Amino acid sequence: MIRAFYNRYISKDREFSKQVRMITGFTPREPFLYHLALRHSSLVTARKTSHRECNERLEFLGDTVLDAVVSEYLFRIYPTEDEGFLTEMRAKIVNRRSLNEICKKIKLDNLIKFNKTRKGQINKSMYGDALEAFIGAVYMDMGYRYTKKFIVSKIVVEHLNLDEVQDTIYNFKSMLLEYVQKEKLENLVYELVAEKGEGNDKFFKINVKIGSKVMGSGDGKKKKVAEQNASEDALKRLRVIGQPQKQEKTKQTASKFK
C-alpha cells in the first residue's frame, strides 16, 4: 500500500529524486525505497506493522552492507595489517557518532521524516540509523556495485581522513553503551570487585556486566580508567574491536590483587 502511494505521486516529487541524485551521484530507480529509508519509526502508530512502514528493516540491511564494503576497503588499503587493526578501524568508521556526522555532512538529515512532537524522545542515533537505511535502499535499488561505489567515494574518501581515524582515541565506555543499545541487549553494570593500596598507590579492579554476565575486566589507578579498560576488554571479547586480551595478560593483571 505504501509502495503504491509513493510511486503514484513520485512524478510530483522530482525535487526529492534530485536531492537523492545529488547525494548518491545517480538517479534512483525506486524512489519508494529512499522515502522509506528516511521515514523514522516515530511516525508509525500501529506497532504490528511498524517494521513495514519505517526504515528499520532497511537499516538492518544497510548496516550489514556497510560493514562488508568498509571491511573490503580496509583489507585492500592496509595489506600488511592484522585482523585486530582492521576490526578496530572498521569500528571507528561505522560507529554511531561517525555515521551521525556523515549523515549531516552529506545533507541527508534534511530529508529525514520524523514526528517533531516527539523530538525530545528520539534517540540521537536517528541520523546514523537513517544513513544505514539509505545505504540499504541503494543496495536494493541499484545492487552491490553501485552501493560499494557510493560508500567508498561519497562517504569514506570524501568525508573521512583515515590517518586521523587511525589516531582517534575512543571513549570505550560510550562505545560499549552504544553497542548494547544498538543490539538491544540487557543493561550495562560496572562492578567494583577489588580495591588495593592508599593515596597515589591506590588501584581499582572493575568488571563490566551485560545483564548478569561478566563481559570485561579492567584495572587502573582511578575508577574511570578501570571502567574504560573494562569496557575495552568487553568490546574485544564481543569482537567489536580488535581481539580479546590474551590469557597471559589477564593473569598478570589478576596478580596485582592477590
Buried b (16+ CB within 10 A) or exposed e, 154-189: bbbeeebebeeeeeeebebbebbebbbebeeeeebe
Catalytic residue among 132, 141, 219, 232: 132
Distance between CA 7 and CA 75 in Å, rounded?
39
Classify residue 245 by its DSSP letter. Answer: P
Q: Is 132 a catalytic residue?
A: yes
Q: Is 63 a catalytic residue?
A: yes
- Count of all residues that appear for the chain in the document: 258
Residue 181 to residues 63, 113, 186, 206, Cα–Cα distance (Å): 15, 22, 8, 21
| CB contact at 8 A, 122 and 114 | yes
| CB contact at 8 A, 220 and 203 | yes
| CB contact at 8 A, 191 and 198 | no
3-state secondary structure of 86: helix
C-alpha cell at 243: 581481539
C-alpha cell at 162: 583515515
Catalytic residue among 59, 63, 129, 178: 63
C-alpha cell at 98: 561517525
**Which residue intervals of 28-108 are DSSP H helices?**
31-37, 50-53, 56-77, 83-94, 96-105
Tell me which residues are annotated as active site. Answer: 63, 132
